[in-house]
A and B are shown apart, each in its own frame.
Chain A
Amino acid sequence: MTKIILGIFWLTFAATGVAASDHSQKMSWIEFKNHFITEICSSKPKRMKAVLQELGSFTVANQDSKIIKKRTQWATDLISGIQTKNFRCSKGGKTYLKRGDKFLNPALMVEIKLGDEKYKAPFLHLPVRPTLETILATSKLINSFEGPGSLDLDQLALLEKKPDFINTDQMAYLLTSQLSDSSRERLVFVRAFKMLKSENVDEVSEALRNLSNIPSRKTLTAIVKVRKNIDPVKNPELMKIADDAIAEINLSIQIGKAMSIVYSGLSYSSILFLASIGLAIVFGLMGVINLAQGELIMIGAYVTFVIQECLAAIFPSMLPLYLLISIPFVFLVTGGMGALIEYSVIRHLYTRPLMTLLATWGVSIFLINMIRVSFGTQNLEFYVPDYLVGGLSVFGDFLITWNRLATIIFAIVILIFTLLLVKKTRFGMNVRAVTENRAMAGAIGVNTRKVDLLSFAVGSGLAGLAGLALSTIYNVNPTMGTNFIVDAFMVVVLGGVGSIWGTVFAALLVGMINVAVEPLYGAVAAKVLVMVLIIAVIQVRPEGIFTMKVRK
């Protein structure tokens, strides 16, 4: 009796087991599509993950390339719909996929009329997302592949990040296609993660070799894990391959780490440079401390925002270029504002440089509150153009992020612009003359008032450009400027008054120290160390590292 009951139990269990794993073989495509939709609507992470993998296998189950194209198209449409919440289910089991303003039956892709039911997007719990993203990526790759050539790099990069979730059948199918060498190499690399888990010694050693080609911490972790399971007596060769791979990857990771520190340092240094170059000119020329410099940076960012909004309203197609378009506007507006500050406030205070500190502090409070009243205190939303998002994985785990690279390049351009302006133009010559000897320059006919006004305007314009460059990296709100002002001063004082190269050097020094110390002892320690350094340097060289010989 008990045996029979057990037997029935066993049978039902086995039957459900088989049914679950063999859906793809037994069902027709249309049956599967309906099954897929029901499973997704369940919102249960486990069921969603399983059915997504089944979908992956199903898309390539038939060898006919037309059918494959049709199925991957459906998969792409539906998964995108799930991600964007355009796919929704009702409690009663009805579903729709919204495309434009039309509602489609998701299985048949024909237009339907909706009833009164309440539709809800199936909830994507965290564990479902990686599977969803990889199946979408592979389906897109297969769908868009038009014969011999390369694969879409974005999708490949996505696969590289999540090799564990890739559908094996889709992967195998992709590798049978005629691919360019670089695409094939990357796919083989992605596949190697799965092959590491294989029982076959040859496959594992091949995977090891493939993995060590593209070194990263992730591959290292995977290899170290495999190495633990290798029996050194049985497979001495495999052991050696693993050890070699680990050593090679370790080295690459260290190099990548060093490069990434240098890169972070460079990017932080360029930000510091941008924030302080305007200050350096003004300070060097007039001995004027402009505590409102941070607010000019802030206003630069706000002008950028206004330009962005105008473009979005008038020429939406130009929007991706708003950062470039803003450059002249920002420079003019903040420069004009600087000229206004110079004319109304600073002009009265040239003989009392310490008082400019207080006056410009007052100006900075005024500007902050003016912006606060007119724009509100919330962070502004900046459109980040595609070319500034993401980055390029270069070596080891070293990632060159586009926006930081843009900042570095922008800083270099500003540096060249400033150098040309100061060294090659008549205005620059006047500026240098006034800096070195104000009275004498005046005596030989330089209009020192005009020089003062113009250089203050240029200094302010440069601050505004810094705001433009920072708008896509930092938060833009009325108080953003105060974060920069202390750092900018430290850079200027450390570098030495009026020396452009001094400012460059000091920005690099401060930036590098910050980035090098931060991971070890924390951000606070890094800042404190920079302060200590500055105080110490001032003791030895009271007027900064690079001091210009100035007649007083």
Chain B
Amino acid sequence: MMNRRKFIKVAGAITGAAAAPAIISSAFGAGHSKTQKIGCLFSSSGAMANVEGRLNSVVDMAVAELNAAGGVLGKTIETVITDPASDWPLYAQNGRQLLLQEKCKALFGCWTSVSRKSVLPVVEQNDALLYYPLHFEGEENSDSVVYMNSPPASSVLPALEYMMSEDGGSASRFYMVGSDYVWPRTINKINKGYFSSLGISEESYKETYVPFGFSNFQTIINDIRDFADQPGGPPIIILTVVGSSIPAFFKEIINQGILASDIPILGLDVLEADLEGLDTTSLVGHLNCWAYLQNVESEANTQIKSNWASFVKSNGLPYKPDVMIDPMVSAYDGVHMWAKAVEKAGTFEVPAVKEAFDGITFNCPSGYEISLGSENNYVARGVFIGSVNENQAFDILWQSDDTPKPVPFSPYA
């Protein structure tokens, strides 16, 4: 057994050694002029790590592409990755560190709305930029955030419209299940506003919320079967549970033998990655809606998928090389759109970069040319409705003609 004194000395030495690079890097980091840093705020540990962690690597990959093409304004871009560990205040803390200590000029980060909300004051106070890759509840427009994904009015409502059409199965009754937090609540509020504007009676829909991380869906699915058996027309489930609740919900759906032809599910936060652990043959036909689906046929998409596969392999990352999800693409788009704005502005200084936003476009892997306008900081993107197939992915069922103008504040909310 190691004696105490020795242990303490060793422990001290280890801690010292671990802390030293931090001190050195902060002392010398500022002096470099050939590189420009950008920061990543995606959790690679904790509850969100399952889906969120891989976005760090996506940003890395996009930066590698920029650097391979000669960098931005002649400077090499360097990514600083932190791990906020799914701990919301830590997002703010790490964000502050990235901006003030590492002198990052732009942040790419956050998955949940809570994490964004916690970084928001930091970004606003320090006149920085945050590229946020997720679709969310909308109802926000900070000029320090670039919202890379669609607000509900331009993604959820088209999907509902489709499901209520004859081709979509003339859905007329709606069971809304969500995790109990702001995104599902706001989405369902918008849905309800939309229903009542169509004259759908209150008996035709029902909403339930479950706690975060909830996984015992037996009783709720019993209740859904009950709801589905009532008279009044074809039912659908509008699923807004998030994170680990999604596969748990699907597992129980499979288990109780409910097929898409019985009760279709419109899973608003369901990604290819959520289907990873599931046998999807019994889930075929359920729907989701995003601004990008893996099966899109476009040159840019083939390119990003093969780049990702080789990036994962060459760096030995623990992700499936053949799974590409919307937030990954959004984060990727974010890096490129930032670089374009910087080049347009001719400087890395944030106020000038913000000025340059209007009219920035990018050829997104989704096949649309996405763009930033002058009215708000939301990127205009196309919308897809996908249908689960046997291969743990989504077939494209419907897609918008062009990129609808983003409406951050829904008229139904």
Contact = CB atoms under 8 A, between A and B. Distances in A.
Contacts of A515: 218-219
Interface in B376-412: 387, 389-390, 395, 397
A379 interface: yes
B208 A125 contact: no
B116 interface: no
Interface residues of B, number: 63
A535 to B, nearest CB: 19
Interface stretch (A51-59, A380-388, A442-450, A492-500): A380-388
A550 B344 CA distance: 77
A401 to B, nearest CB: 5
B264 A378 contact: no
B276 to A, nearest CB: 5
Contacts of A127: 166-170
A25 interface: no
A523 B163 CA distance: 29
A207 B166 CA distance: 30
Contact of B279 (A271, A369, A384, A475): A384
A39 to B, nearest CB: 16
Interface in A387-440: 389-391, 397, 399, 401, 403-404
Contact of A378 (B180, B248, B255, B319): B319
B267 interface: no
A397 B318 contact: no
B211 A391 contact: no
B254 interface: yes
Given A46-B166, A125-B167, A268-B216, A133 B247 contact: no
Contacts of A177: none
A252 B168 CA distance: 34
Contacts, number: 161
A524 interface: yes
A129 B219 contact: no
Interface string B298-331: 0000000000000000000011100000000000
A91 interface: no
A523 B257 contact: no
A483 B180 CA distance: 17
B396 to A, nearest CB: 9
Nearest to B163: A126
A518 interface: yes
Contact of B231 (A130, A133, A225, A474): A225
B295 to A, nearest CB: 12
Given A377-B53, A479-B47, A45 B166 contact: yes
Given A401-B255, A473-B251, A477-B244, A125 B273 contact: no
B89 interface: no
Contacts of B45: 368-369, 372
B219 A382 contact: no
Interface string B261-285: 1101000000001101111001011
B11 to A, nearest CB: 14
A389 B215 CA distance: 18
Nearest to B46: A479
B359 interface: no
A217 B230 contact: yes
A162 B49 CA distance: 41
A267 B222 CA distance: 14
B168 A378 contact: no
B180 A399 contact: no
A518 B219 contact: yes
A268 B229 CA distance: 25
Which has the most chain B C-beta neighbours within 10 Å: A125, A372, A373, A401?
A125
B223 interface: yes
A381 B53 contact: no
B205 interface: no
Contact of B278 (A123, A126, A267, A381): A381
Given A161-B262, A217-B226, A524-B180, A483 B318 contact: no
A126 B264 contact: yes
A523 B319 contact: no
A236 interface: no
Contacts of B168: 125-127
A375 interface: yes
Contacts of B170: 127
Interface in A468-518: 473-480, 483, 514-515, 518
12 contacts: A85-B389, A127-B169, A372-B49, A377-B50, A377-B318, A379-B50, A381-B279, A397-B225, A404-B255, A476-B277, A519-B222, A523-B214
Interface of B: 44-47, 49-50, 53, 163, 166-170, 180, 208-211, 213-216, 218-220, 222-223, 225-226, 229-231, 244, 247-248, 251, 254-257, 259-262, 264, 273-274, 276-279, 282, 284-285, 287, 318-320, 387, 389-390, 395, 397
9 nearest A-B pairs in the assembled complex, by CB-CB distance: A376-B318, A379-B277, A217-B229, A129-B261, A126-B169, A130-B261, A377-B49, A381-B277, A377-B50
Interface of A: 45-46, 83-85, 123-127, 129-130, 132-133, 161-162, 216-218, 220-221, 224-225, 260-261, 264, 267-268, 271, 368-369, 372-373, 375-384, 389-391, 397, 399, 401, 403-404, 473-480, 483, 514-515, 518-519, 522-524, 527
